[in-house]
Structure 1
Amino acid sequence: MKIKLKQIHRLQRAAGVVLGVLVVLLIADSAFLATAATPEGLVAPMLRLHLVLGASLCAVVAVFVAGHFVIHRRHRNARARKIGLVVAALAGLGCVAGLALWRDGGQARPLVLAHELAFVTAIAAYVLHRVRALATPALKVEWIGAGVALVMLGGIWAAQLWWPTSASEAPSPRAPFVPGLAQTRTVDGHLLGTEDLANPEYCAQCHTEIAARWESSAHRVSSLNDPFYAATLAVSQGHKTPDQIKFCGGCHDPLLLLTGRMDTHPKPEDPDADAGITCLACHAIVEAPGRLGNGSYVIAAPEHYPGYASDDPSERETSNRLIQSKPAKHIASFAPPHLRSSQICAGCHKAHIPPELNDHRWVPGQNDWDAWHDSGAGANSARTFYPPKAKRCQDCHMPRIPGDDPAARDGTVTDHGFPGANTALPFVQGDEQWQARNEAFLDGVVSVDVGAIEVGVPGAEPLRVMAPGASLALPPGAPVTLDLSVRNRRSGHLFPGGISDLREAWLELTLTDEHGEVLAASGWLDPRGKLDPDAHRWNTTLLDAKGEPLTVHEVEDTYVVLTSRRIMLGASDVVRVSFTAPNRAARLSVRVLHRKFPRDYVEFVLGEDAPRMPITPLATTQIAFEPGPTIAAAPGPDAGDRLRALGIAYLLRGDTTLARVAASAAAERLPADPGPQLDLARAALADGALADAEAHVRAADGLAPGHPTAAWLLARIRAASGDHAAALAALEVALAVFPNDRELLVMKGESLFRLERDAEAAAALTAVLAIDPEHLGAHALLTRIYTDSGDQDAAERHQRAWDRHRPRSEDSVVTERARREDPALDRRANLQYVLPLAPVPEGWTRATRPSLEP
């Protein structure tokens, strides 16, 4: 037995020596890893050494603790013995946590904290154990070990500071980047490598949930893996050069563009033609995009951690562990502050068609950025109808959702599924969950209301009923005009947004009798699924040089925009509908419907046998009619909001008479709300009734002193009467709240110019161009100011900008020709047209909601 104890004692002592060496090495190694802020130099090898030393330590700890326990388990110093057990337990916990981290890849932050805290506490407990175990605690060996560890740490840091940059970390030479008509730029002006933008699988190793959402997103299917984009691009490629087609690449094909593979026309079968907008296409953008759009972002090859692209799996694993242990550089590289600003979206969600593409002139394109900027969601404008509720683009299109991810905050991550209005892509991809998310996203975007009804009375003025109830009596055979108010409630820009020439948002009306027989309708689908050409639409119509509508998004052939009927957030549109009162009880059902693509375009892309794209109901209402004399009842006391929305719609339609009637009725029912008074002031201003306008502005200011919209309107009144000093004083009130309101800044520049304060006027107008580089009014007035001051270079610069962006007189020739030749186009271009209900042609059907799995 004594011989056995001697052997155990000898083994325990040897283990103690090895353990001491390992502890000293690990202290130096851990201290270096803890103090190194970035992963360069010796950090990667020291991390690998940490894993080897840690594993060795765990093995030696087991031997040492076992032997030490056998020898000293009956030691008379009970307190030291108990502390020793605590040391052993803490060391064991640290080892278990370390092994778990090794298996986990170092991702679990609680395990990291447990591992670090266990060993730090174990060392402190060990010192206490030694103090309690010795009568005269010298701790000489421990002090020597601490000194050696400190010297080693200094040596490691000296080597780190002098460690040369490896050849693999030096940037490789690239060919110059030629962006063509895209506004995209690289930091050094050279092409990127495929590895700089591809490899979403690398990101998915840690950000699994985020990557899964991205897989079901329009960003993932933005390139030639989108059959709609591929078909439209093929049309453009048929008659445009690769440099011109790069206009599309900055946003749809960043990987192909930035690696030089759009120097020739790409094809769907090409490598990486299905890459889409990869993780790094956004996360490698190094500054917020400019305000020009068309892919106006600056991108750089990302700074990866050592070993990222190594062929050695152990080096790649070390690279991943470095990200977990030294995340600061990773966060700085891939999650800079500008990714959280709305301006990051401006690079691609604002576009224009340059004359170099359409061989004609500059034409505005899809532009959700400026529309958001001027809306209540952008909170940059005094001109909105309702008080602003600031929202970034990300608040709607990247909402926070529950997630267990390294990037999670409070148990949530940003949704990289980018919910939006595109229901066609998920449908053709067969992704029912994605489709359902986008359907849900559209719910409640707009509302529809029966705002007013006019009933013809023989020999007298029509009888008008505003904000009618759920039912109304109509004299059989009487002509009826019904005003529907459609309000944008949640779309933070225009409704519909995006590529609105390929959108179909329309009004469906169905008049049925009590037996369900359809008496008249509008907005139904023909047997092919094509929308009634006379339906009321909210979208954009583009024309080519011959006045023919462009139906497959041939932006390169866009000559002029015929009409763009859309609704700003908080605003309303009015649709006038006419029919003859039925001779029996009837019901009018109204729906606002939306589908991503018109049927003609779907057949162009997918063939005549293509399935019908999903149609989403956005808003519904109905009203019942009974035969009998109409009673002109006054709107109820709770009709104020309905009446105000109707008045706004009339105002934007240009009907100031009805706008005043509706706004006055709204003001009676909303006596504490300044909004109706401001609407009345706008209508009076449109009519040139300055005194009336000022009276309403004063009334609004009495309800809400210092209201910025009232100040803007007062400035307009003062400027219209020639008092520019007073106009400036009013503008300063509004600009104090909305300093980035471009139209207020233009008004300020105009008044300053009238007062011959040219330098101040130029400063205000320059601020406008920082917000909107294409603002015609700002360029025109700056041209005059710099011409008068003798700065010919500046004057010519702004003259060229004005001339580039201004409309052309020949455009009206094309639009008039289109309107003459197509009555449906003529109606769309006429804000005042009345939509007649008519019998439904045989074979036509109402739209149905797509079937979705629960």
Structure 2
Amino acid sequence: ELFGLKDGGTIDGRLLAPLRPELPKLKPGGTYLVEVVIRTLNMGHVFPQGTSDSNEIWVDFEARAGGRTIGRSGALSGPDDTGKVDEWAHFVNVLMLDRHGNRINRRNPQDIFTPLYDHQIPPGAAQVVHYKLDVPREVKGPIELNVRLRYRKFDHEYMSLVYKEQGNVPPLPIVDLCEDKVRLPVEGAAQSVAEQAPPREPLWQRWNDYGIGCLIEGGVGSKKGELKQAEEAFRKVIALGEKSAMADGYLNVARVYFEEGRLSEAVAALNQAQHADPPANWWTVAWFNGLVNAQNGNFEAAAANFADILDPKHQPRQRKFDFTRDYVVINELGVTLFRMAQQEDEPAKRAELLRRAVAQFERTLRIEPEDLDAHFWLAQAYTRLSESLPPQTAKEPPEWVPVDSLIALMEVFVNTSSPRMARLQACADLCQAIVKYGQQRLVPDKPKLPTLLALIDKCRPIYAQESEESVRAAAAKILGNLHRQTHAIYKPDDLARGQAVQIYTSKHPAAAAAAQAIVIYPTNRPGAPGLKGGENDHAR
């Protein structure tokens, strides 16, 4: 949808919206940002999903006046809908890289290392795309803006590799998933513009979608979006007074306030969403109340909010929702219980809170064994549960720790018929050996992860079932070390990721620009396809 214009061509320019019924007069020689909104409907997954590295989905934007193109982004390089897409177009995809800074461009998912950017749209959400439009000084008549979301099953780069020996890539079908157009008047022009119907109703939904796109720009939860603009859009939703929209308006305002750290205002907006008629979904309100309470240090209230969402008796099954396996909420409950334990002075109560936190993170691992947050917080919680363990001098492990020695020490520890002191000594020696093992250089045919996971499986029942307090604390110490090493393996290498990104962006300026949190796409780039003198000018 062509939603609006921003005066001056900047993100913080005055918003002229919504287009239709508004038809602002454009000034010859003026510069504007054209605000395009892409909205997802009736899907329960991100768009696109699956092979998002090879599907080619992009926005084709064109501005025309007096029979000629005055702005273009997203045109094709060849005639008759063939060739490669303008590399400076907005692509709705994930640009994935391997560890050497090469694009994943040949259906080689085994080499996936890190995304340069992720332009997928969450379910029921929206994306805002900004186009910079320079209005020619000599323009005399109305300007027509056209925008299409286009889809091609395989991108041109991939097909060029497939047909490398043949030399020419055959034409592939292109589907226009949706489109919009608007005709705008120009100041000083004699030709008038007829009224144009809005592309869809209701009006509040158009404002709401624009606000969501602004809010999540740069990534959901990244706090890099247009938060001020999002708040203004959601305030418009509320001001329209549509009864069915009030809950959405207040809830989304609360989301903005939470992102900005305006927690007291977020609480007030959540209360208004909860008391609207009809009210906002209770689980959504509970989620944001939990986040706000946790940020405010009201951990007990936050834990109650998260527990309500996870309670099997409270599931909105008439809507076919079941949050009992939502490990994002499970982890938040675990972290909240951990924070409560940090504030507890009574040792027995503190240990109980830590055990409850452990139970939540273990619950997550039963659903998603590779969850990074669960391993991190288990390392923290188990370590604190081992603080009552008496000091024990450990033997210095060898320079190279063989797996067999780790297994042997674990066997001594888990053997319930072994003397208590022998088990505690095995714990001390094993913890030292685990640290040393984690520091060892990698051997390609001997990965560490299977060993660590096997040791966790061996030790976990001892922690759960042991009645002797010191041995249980020893089991917690071992598990804390094992989860710490496991987390270190699962944790992405930020330095390596940064190097891969730097290699690719140094060679591909268009992709580097598209990877920014807020992107303004040019429409008069010299040599761009679709413009005079561009790649496909011969076809015009």
TM-score above 0.5:
yes
Paired residue for 1:411? Answer: none
Does residue 723 (structure 1) correspond to residue 316 (structure 2)? The answer is no
Q: 1:691 aligns with which of 255, 264, 272?
A: 264
Q: How does 1:392-541 map to 2 (within 5 A)?
A: 449-456=1-8, 462-469=13-20, 471-515=23-67, 517-527=68-78, 529-541=83-95
CA separation of 1:490 and 1:611: change in aligned 2, threshold 3 A = farther
How far apart in 2 are the matches of 1:845 and 1:729?
63
Paired residue for 1:713? Answer: 288
Paired residue for 1:591? Answer: 148
Question: Is the 1:728–1:751 Cα contact (8 Å) retained in structure 2?
Answer: yes
The number of aligned residues is 392
Deviates more, 1:640-649 or 1:775-784: 775-784
Deviation at 1:492, TM superposition (A): 2.4
| 1:633-677 Cα deviation digits (max 9, x unpaired) | xx9994100000010010001111001001110122234431121
Residue identity over aligned pairs, in percent, reads 24
CA separation of 1:637 and 1:489: change in aligned 2, threshold 3 A = closer
Q: How does 1:639-654 map to 2 (within 5 A)?
A: 639-653=203-217, 654=225
How far apart in 2 are the matches of 1:629 and 1:672?
42
How far apart in 2 are the matches of 1:500 and 1:747?
29
Question: Is the 2:9–2:132 Cα contact (8 Å) retained in structure 1?
Answer: no
CA separation of 1:695 and 1:804: change in aligned 2, threshold 3 A = same
CA separation of 1:666 and 1:629: change in aligned 2, threshold 3 A = farther
How far apart in 2 are the matches of 1:846 and 1:697?
57
How far apart in 2 are the matches of 1:495 and 1:657?
26
Counterpart AA for 2:115: V
Q: 2:231 aligns with which of 657, 660, 685?
A: 660
Q: State the SS of the aligned residue for 1:628.
A: coil
CA separation of 1:770 and 1:676: change in aligned 2, threshold 3 A = farther
Does residue 831 (structure 1) correspond to residue 427 (structure 2)? The answer is no
How far apart in 2 are the matches of 1:559 and 1:767?
28
Counterpart AA for 1:650: C
Q: How does 1:12-91 map to 2 (within 5 A)?
A: none
Runs of 4+ in 1 over 6 A off after TM superposition: none
CA separation of 1:846 and 1:491: change in aligned 2, threshold 3 A = farther
Deviation at 1:514, TM superposition (A): 4.6
Q: 1:579 aligns with which of 130, 133, 149?
A: 133
Greater fraction helix: 1
Q: How does 1:734-745 map to 2 (within 5 A)?
A: 734-735=309-310, 736-737=314-315, 738-745=323-330
Deviation at 1:758, TM superposition (A): 1.2
Paired residue for 1:302? Answer: none
| 1:180-214 Cα deviation digits (max 9, x unpaired) | xxxxxxxxxxxxxxxxxxxxxxxxxxxxxxxxxxx
Deviation at 1:499, TM superposition (A): 1.6
The structure with the largest alpha-carbon Rg is: 1
Paired residue for 1:190? Answer: none
Counterpart AA for 2:155: P
Question: Is the 1:472–1:624 Cα contact (8 Å) retained in structure 2?
Answer: no
Counterpart AA for 2:384: D
How far apart in 2 are the matches of 1:617 and 1:524?
13
Q: Which runs of 5+ in 2 are unaligned?
A: 190-197, 218-224, 316-322, 342-352, 387-475, 525-530
Question: Is the 2:92–2:120 Cα contact (8 Å) retained in structure 1?
Answer: yes
How far apart in 2 are the matches of 1:571 and 1:846?
39
Question: Is the 2:331–2:364 Cα contact (8 Å) retained in structure 1?
Answer: yes
Q: State the SS of the aligned residue for 1:494.
A: coil
Q: 1:555 aligns with which of 83, 91, 109?
A: 109
Deviation at 1:599, TM superposition (A): 1.4
Q: State the SS of the aligned residue for 2:249.
A: helix
Q: How does 1:607-626 map to 2 (within 5 A)?
A: 607-626=166-185
Question: Is the 2:251–2:280 Cα contact (8 Å) retained in structure 1?
Answer: no
| 1:13-46 Cα deviation digits (max 9, x unpaired) | xxxxxxxxxxxxxxxxxxxxxxxxxxxxxxxxxx
How far apart in 2 are the matches of 1:601 and 1:612?
13
Deviation at 1:723, TM superposition (A): 1.1
CA separation of 1:557 and 1:845: change in aligned 2, threshold 3 A = farther
Question: Is the 1:485–1:575 Cα contact (8 Å) retained in structure 2?
Answer: yes
Does residue 773 (structure 1) correspond to residue 344 (structure 2)? The answer is no
Paired residue for 1:814? Answer: 500
CA separation of 1:687 and 1:590: change in aligned 2, threshold 3 A = same
Question: Is the 1:774–1:801 Cα contact (8 Å) retained in structure 2?
Answer: no
How far apart in 1 are the matches of 2:253 and 2:478?
45
How far apart in 2 are the matches of 1:706 and 1:766?
28
Bigger relative contact order, structure 1 or 2 (CA pairs below 8 A, ≥6 apart): 2
TM-score by length of 1: 0.44
| 1:222-275 Cα deviation digits (max 9, x unpaired) | xxxxxxxxxxxxxxxxxxxxxxxxxxxxxxxxxxxxxxxxxxxxxxxxxxxxxx
Paired residue for 2:187? Answer: 628
Question: Is the 1:474–1:629 Cα contact (8 Å) retained in structure 2?
Answer: no
Paired residue for 1:605? Answer: 162
| 1:91-124 Cα deviation digits (max 9, x unpaired) | xxxxxxxxxxxxxxxxxxxxxxxxxxxxxxxxxx
How far apart in 2 are the matches of 1:724 and 1:540?
37
Q: State the SS of the aligned residue for 1:665.
A: helix
Q: How does 1:135-146 map to 2 (within 5 A)?
A: none
Superposition RMSD on alpha carbons, in Å? 2.6
Paired residue for 2:308? Answer: 733
